[in-house]
Amino acid sequence: MPHWLIVGGGTAGCVLASRLSESAGDHVTLIEAGTERASATPSYLDDLAATGALWDGLVATDGGRVARPYPQGRGLGGSSAVNGGVLSMAHDDPLLPHALVIGEPPGAAELGVIDRALLAAAGDATVAVLARRDGERLSTANTYLAAASGRVNLDVVSGALVDRVLLAGRRAAGVVLADGAAIHADRVVCAAGAVFTPALLLRSGVDTPRLGAGLRDHVGRVIGLTLRHHDDGAVHGLVTGAVLRRGAIEMVTMNHLGTALPGHAALLVGLLVNQRRGAVRPCAGRTDDPTAPPDVDFGQFGDADAVRLAAGVTLAEQLIDTAPFCDIVSEAHVVDGFGGYAHATSTCAMGTVVDEHGAVVGYEELFVADASVLPTLPASGTYLPVVLLAERLARAWRRIP
C-alpha cells in the first residue's frame, strides 16, 4: 500500500487528500501546521480576524520597497477558508463539472451598498459568482476533506509544523517535524502554497534550478470610501457581491472593511496581467528555522504596467463621481502602495522546477501541487485554478504503479 504524505492542508492539500484517498489501496497522511477552522461566516473579514487564521509575521516587499503584511491562510482549508471566494467561471476545463467547489451568486437582498452602486454605475458590471452553497461559503476543507471524512486510509494531522522533507539521497522518504519527529512515507507532496512550499524545499536542501524564483501576483490599488450612512450590522455581512472586468482591469467591491472600520468601504482596482517577477527565499539569517516567515519580494513594477493600473484607478474614480456612488459616498481616496491581492503563484513552475506531473526535477517520489506550480499567473482569482490543478494531478498520480 503506497503511503502518500501531503504537506499543507490548504486549498490544494484538501483536494489531494480527498482524491488520493479514494483509492483504497493507497494510504494518505495530510499534515497541516494550523488547526481545524470554524464554520465560515458571511464576512470573510470576520474569518481573517480569527486567532490563527493567518501566518503570523508574513510580509512582502515590492522591489525591495517598504514591507507590507501579506495574508496567507493557515489551518485546514488554508486561504480558501478566509478569502472572498470570487470565482471566474470562464475556465474551459473538462474537470470543472467534477469540482466540489461550486459557484453561486448572492441574491439581490444580500448585495451591499457598494455592490448596488457599481452595478448601477457600470452597465457591464456583474453580480459576482462566489464559492458558496445555499449561502454558505465553501472552502476545500468543508467540501473535499469533509467528503473524505471517516476513510480508514486517510490520516489528518493538524497543528504539526513541518521542518523539512526527509531525503535519502535524491529520493523523498518522509518529513521531519519542527519537534524533531520523523514521519516516513513512500511519496511526499508539498502543497503549502507558493510562499511556503519553495521555502520548505530550499530549507530541505533541494537544489533544483529556479526553485523559489518567478514569483507572480496580481497587482491592486485600493480606493477607500467613506459612507454617508452605515448600518452597524452590515460589517458582518457580504463583503463582495459585484465585479467589473474590462480587459486586464478588474474592480472588486468591498461593502465594508470589518468591525475595525465601521462606515468605511472600498473598491479594489486590480491588474490581472502584469510583467512583474519576484522570488521567495528562506528568512535571511534564519534559513534553518521553520518558524521564521520566508522572505517574499514581488519585484519591480514596470512602467507599462503602472500606466495600465493608473488607467484602471482613473476609471474607478470616474465611476465614483457618478450619482449612484455620490448618493452613498462622502469621501474617496487612493490608499498608498499596492494591496488587496494575495494570489502568489509560480515559484515551483511547471516546466522548470517540476515536470508536467508535478514531480520535482532531479528528485524521486517528491511532488508539488499548489499555486506554486502554475507556470503563468491566471487572469482571474487563483482559487478555482488551484482546485482544478489539484484535481488533475491527483488523477495522474493515481495511475503511478
Residue 367's pLDDT is what? 98
Q: pLDDT per residue over 53-65, tens digit each?
A: 999 999 999 998 8
Same domain flag for 322 and 262 = yes
Give the DSSP H or E segment for 115.
helix 113-121
CATH of the domain at 381: 3.50.50.60
Give the residues of the chain that fall short of pLDDT 70. Answer: 38, 89-91
Q: Which of 337, 361, 387 is the last residue of a domain?
A: 337
Same domain flag for 125 and 158 = no
217 and 344 in contact (C-beta within 8 Å)? yes
Same domain flag for 348 and 229 = no
Same domain flag for 291 and 361 = yes
Same domain flag for 145 and 128 = no
Residue 37's pLDDT is what? 77
Residue 27's pLDDT is what? 97
Same domain flag for 50 and 192 = yes
Q: pLDDT per residue over 149-208, tens digit each?
A: 999 999 999 999 999 999 999 999 999 999 999 999 999 999 999 999 999 999 999 999
Residue 89's pLDDT is what? 59
Same domain flag for 30 and 163 = yes
Same domain flag for 8 and 31 = yes
DSSP state letter for 55: -
* C-alpha to C-alpha distance for 363 and 92, rounded to whole angstroms: 32
pTM of the model: 0.96
Segments forming the whole domain that contains residue 260: 102-136+219-271+302-337
Measure CA of the first residue to CA of the last residue in the chain; give whole Å. Answer: 10
Same domain flag for 142 and 168 = yes
* C-alpha to C-alpha distance for 1 and 26, rounded to whole angstroms: 5
Strand, coil or helix: 310: helix
Same domain flag for 112 and 207 = no
Residue 144's pLDDT is what? 97
Q: How far is CA 166 from CA 131, 174, 176, 205, 341, in A?
A: 36, 5, 6, 10, 33
Q: How many CB atoms sit inside 10 A of residue 339's CB? A: 16
Same domain flag for 44 and 183 = yes
Same domain flag for 143 and 206 = yes
